[in-house]
Amino acid sequence: MSPVDLDKALARRFRNDHFHILLRCFTVGHSEKYLNRHCGQHTMIMRACIQAPAFQQIATTCRRRAELLFKRGIPVIKALCICSQGMHGSVAVANTLQHVYQQQGYNSIGPCNLSRNEWMRGMCDVCMHCKPKKEKDALISSVTKAYF
- pLDDT, mean of residues 36-41: 78
> For residues 50 and 30, is the Cβ–Cβ distance under 8 A?
no
Instruction: Report angle CA 109, 114, 118 to the nearest 5 degrees.
Output: 140
User: How many other CB atoms are found less than 10 A from the CB of residue 79?
Assistant: 19
The pLDDT value recorded for residue 107 is: 76
Strand 79-82 to 21-24 pairing: parallel
pLDDT category at 21 given cuts 50, 70, 90 is: confident
pLDDT category at 13 given cuts 50, 70, 90 is: low
